[in-house]
Amino acid sequence: MFKITLLFFATALAEIIGCFLPYLWLRKGGSIWLLLPTALSLSLFVWLLTLHPAASGRVYAAYGGVYVMTALVWLRVVDGVKLSTTDWLGAAVALAGMLIIVSGWRTAG
């Protein structure tokens, strides 16, 4: 379970970076060269999704919970926005949902 969770966090980070870099280019006057690491990051994101040991729909459903947590941590660390108690509670609920889904992978067909 721990390995799968780490893989989900790496996947989410690759996706968020791949979406953040074009934002810097389009909205913050960044260099067009940001599109090169964008393409690499999004390619890594897609490849990481293929490493998960379950049917794609289950992977996407479980991944969503980790994505929520990762996006909020990104908001706090990179954007410097203070998170509220409800932000943390929502992230915990989303992460718990991921753990519930993943725990059923061994029994699901």
Res 55: pLDDT = 67
Using one digit for the tens of pLDDT, what is the confidence trace for 3-54? 888 999 999 999 999 999 999 999 999 999 999 999 999 999 999 988 987 7
Assigned domain for 31 exists: yes
Instruction: Answer positive or negative: Cα dihedral of 94, 95, 98, 100.
Output: negative
CA distance 42 to 95: 23
Assigned domain for 16 exists: yes
Note down the domain range covering 14: 2-103
Assigned domain for 6 exists: yes
Here the contacts of 46-54 (C-beta below 8 Å, separation 24 or greater) are 48/7, 48/10, 48/11, 48/14, 49/11, 51/7, 52/4, 52/7, 52/8, 53/4, 53/105, 54/102, 54/105, 54/108
Res 57: pLDDT = 81
Assigned domain for 109 exists: no
Assigned domain for 97 exists: yes
Res 3: pLDDT = 86
Using one digit for the tens of pLDDT, what is the confidence trace for 51-108? 987 767 888 888 899 999 999 999 999 999 999 999 999 999 999 998 898 888 776 5
Assigned domain for 108 exists: no
Question: Total structural domains in the chain?
Answer: 1
pLDDT over 60 (residue 109): no
Assigned domain for 43 exists: yes
2 — pLDDT class (breaks 50, 70, 90): confident
